[in-house]
Structure 1
C-alpha cells in the first residue's frame, strides 16, 4: 500500500455548477483569525457562553434513552418536532419541513424551484450563503440595493412593472446579515402582495428574528400573502451544533422539497430534532433564555456602537441594531479590504463589505459582529480598529 507521501492527487474537473459557486471570504477569514491575540468581530457565531449547555444535556439524556430516536425518521422531519415548530411559529404542521440547518432548506428550495437562467433577486449586500446557493443552480442573480429600512420593495415593483419576472426573491427581513436593518410590517405586506401579483416566491430567511432587543415585533411576512416561504433555525437561539433548521411553506412546496431531500441525505437526525422539539415546547424556559440572550446582545451592541462613535467620531457611519448579531458600518474613503491586514496586525478582525457585494461598490463598508465579545472586549476592539485605520 503506498504511503501518503507517495500519493499523487489526480486532476479534478469541477462541474459547471460547482465552478459557479463563489468561495466565502468569511470562512477564509475565520481561519486567519483563530488566535487569542485577535479580537474577532468577523464571525456570525452566537455567544458560546450563552448556549444553554445544561438544558441541552438534560434534553439529550432524555432523548437518547428512546431507541426510536436512534432510528431513521421521515424526510420531512420527526412528526413531534414538526408539531413543536408549528406551535413555535403559529402554523400548521403540514407547512413545516425540518432540515439540517436552515442553509439546507435554502439549498433544497433553490434546487426545487429554480432552473438555470431563472432570475433570482437578492439583497445587495447579500447573505453570502444565499449567493452561493443560487449560483450553484445557475440562477441569474440580480442584486436589489438594501435600504435603511430593509428590502427596497418600491424599486422591486418598478423592476416588475418593467417586465422582470423573478422566480424567487430572497431577503432577510429581520436584523439583516450583514446590513443589520429590518423591514417593518408595511414593507413586508407590500412584498408579499407583490409576490402574489407577479407570481414569484419570497424566501424570508429569518434566523435572527427572535433576537429582538428594541422595538415592536412586526407580523411575519407570510401572514400577508400565499407565496412566502419562511426559513427558521435553532442555531442562533439554542445551539449551532444541533443542526436543526426548518422551512415553513404551503404544503405543496413542503411535499416537493421533501421528495428532493430524499436524494440529499434521506432524513435528518431524529435525536437532534427531538432535543430541539423538547426545548421549543418548554415555553417558559425558552422565553427566559431568549430574553437573556437578547439582553446580552443589546448591551454588547450598545457598547460597540458607542465605542465606535467615541473613537471615530464623524469618520464612521454605523447602523444602530434593534436585534440580531451584526452592525454594518461605513468608513468613507477607506478600502476595508486593503485595511484588513493592518487591522489583524493590530489585533482586530471584521469582514470587509465587498465580500457581501452582488454588484454594488461596498469597498468602504464592514460587517462587525458584536455577539461573541464582551462589552469591554468590544470597546478594545473599536480602539484597535481605529488605530489600524490611523496607521494606514
Structure 2
C-alpha cells in the first residue's frame, strides 16, 4: 500500500485553540479562548504611516536576507542588549515568520528523533506540536505560581535525564499565567551550565506587565539560552514578525533551514516593525496603554469570577500577559462544558488542551485581553449559567440511571 504521509504526522493532533477559531468567530459568542490582542488597541494609524514610509523605498517590495532585514536585527539587538545588560550582536538575531516559526526551526536544527525535551506542565500547545513533530521524547515538569519547578527539574537531572532543550514561557506563562521567580531563573541557568542543555526562553508577553516589571530574562544569567519573541502581542499579529536570539552556531543552523522553508520573510512588514520598534517614545506610550487596559480587564475578569463562583473558583494571579488559569466547580470535564457554554454564548480553552501527562480536566485558560470589561462580566455570567446547566444535566442523568 502506498504511504500517503510521513510517519511523524501519526501522533499529531490539531491545536484545540486553532479548532476553536470557527466557533469564536460567531458574533454572538464572547471568546475567552484565543490569545488575541484587543482589536481596538491595534495601532492601525501608526502602521499605515510606517507602511507609506516603507513603500517609498522600492527595496521594501523586494526579497531580503534570510536572517532578516539588517535594520530590524539592529533594533532587536539594541532592545535585547538593554534587557540582558550585555552587548548583543545583530548577527545573533534571526527574524522569523512569527516566533512559532523560530521554535519550529530550532527543533529541526537541534533535535533528533528520541531526544529528550523538558516541557512545562501544563504547556503551550504550539510548543507541544513542534516537539512532537520533531519526534522528541517529552519530560513534563510542573508549573506553579512561581513558574517552572526547578527543584523538580534538578531531581530529574540528578536521576540521569539529559535533555537537549528545556522549553519555558517564563514570563506570564501560557496558559498558567505564572512568572518564573528570580531565584528560579538563576537556578535554571545554573542547571543549564552544569548539565549542558539549552534553554528555550519563549517570551512573547514580557512587555505586558501590570504594575511591577518581571525579573530579568534567563538569558541575563547564561549564554545557554535561545530567546524567542515577537511583535504580535505588542504591535500586530498580521505583521508575522518574530525573532530568536542565540549564539552564532544556532543562528547559522536556523538560517540554513529557513532558506529551505521560505527563503526569507517580508521586507515590507519587517521594515514596518523596525520603524515602530525603533520609535521608543511612541512604543513606550503604546505599551503603557496596553498595560493599563489589559490590567484593568484582567482584574475585571477575576472579580467577575469571584462574584459568580465565590470560594469555589481558583485562578492564577494576574501580573501581566493575557491569560488566567482557572479551576471551576465543574460537574463535568471542561471539554464537555465547552459546547454547553458555546450554546450560551461564551467560549474558553479546556485545560486538557495544554496537558502533557497531567490531569487538567477541571481547569480552563481564560483570555482577558480581547474583550472590554463589561463583556468580560457578561462572559462570566454566561459561564456560570453553563456550569449550572451542565450540573443539572449530569444530575438528571444520574437520577434516570
Q: CA deviation at 1:20?
A: 2.8
Contact 1:120 1:169 in 2 (8 A): yes
- Please give the secondary structure, in 2, of the residue aligned with 1:263: helix
**Tell me, which stretches of 5 or more residues in structure 1 are unaligned?**
1-10
- Please give the secondary structure, in 2, of the residue aligned with 1:204: strand
Aligned equivalent of 1:193 = 190
In the alignment of these two chains, the number of paired residues is: 382
Q: Quick one: which of 230, 234, 237 aligns to 1:237?
A: 234
Q: Quick one: which of 323, 339, 342 aligns to 2:340?
A: 342
Q: CA deviation at 1:320?
A: 1.9
TM-score, with length taken from structure 1: 0.96
Contact 1:21 1:133 in 2 (8 A): no
Aligned equivalent of 1:31 = 22
TM-score, with length taken from structure 2: 0.93
The equivalences for 1:1-392 within 5 A come to 13-90=4-81, 91-334=88-331, 335-392=333-390
User: What is the distance in 2 between the residues matched to 1:46 and 1:99?
Assistant: 20
| CA shift in 2, pair 1:381/1:333, >3 Å | closer
Superimposed CA distance per residue, residues 222-275 of structure 1 (whole angstroms, 9 cap, x where no aligned partner): 010121111010000000000000001111111111111111111111111111
User: What is the distance in 1 between the residues matched to 2:202 and 2:113?
Assistant: 22
Superimposed CA distance per residue, residues 106-163 of structure 1 (whole angstroms, 9 cap, x where no aligned partner): 0000000000000011111110000000011110012111112101111000100000
- Please give the secondary structure, in 1, of the residue aligned with 2:232: coil
- Please give the secondary structure, in 2, of the residue aligned with 1:173: coil
| CA shift in 2, pair 1:12/1:377, >3 Å | farther
Q: CA deviation at 1:217?
A: 2.8
Aligned equivalent of 1:6 = none
Contact 2:31 2:347 in 1 (8 A): yes
Q: CA deviation at 1:92?
A: 2.0
User: What is the distance in 2 between the residues matched to 1:165 and 1:244?
Assistant: 33
Q: CA deviation at 1:21?
A: 2.3
- Please give the secondary structure, in 1, of the residue aligned with 2:359: coil
Superimposed CA distance per residue, residues 33-75 of structure 1 (whole angstroms, 9 cap, x where no aligned partner): 2211111101111111100000011001110121122211111
Q: CA deviation at 1:332?
A: 4.3
User: What is the distance in 2 between the residues matched to 1:157 and 1:49?
Assistant: 44
- Please give the secondary structure, in 2, of the residue aligned with 1:262: helix
Contact 1:73 1:267 in 2 (8 A): yes
- Please give the secondary structure, in 2, of the residue aligned with 1:43: coil
- Please give the secondary structure, in 2, of the residue aligned with 1:180: coil
Contact 1:84 1:277 in 2 (8 A): yes
Contact 1:95 1:249 in 2 (8 A): yes
User: What is the distance in 2 between the residues matched to 1:305 and 1:315?
Assistant: 13
Q: CA deviation at 1:199?
A: 0.8
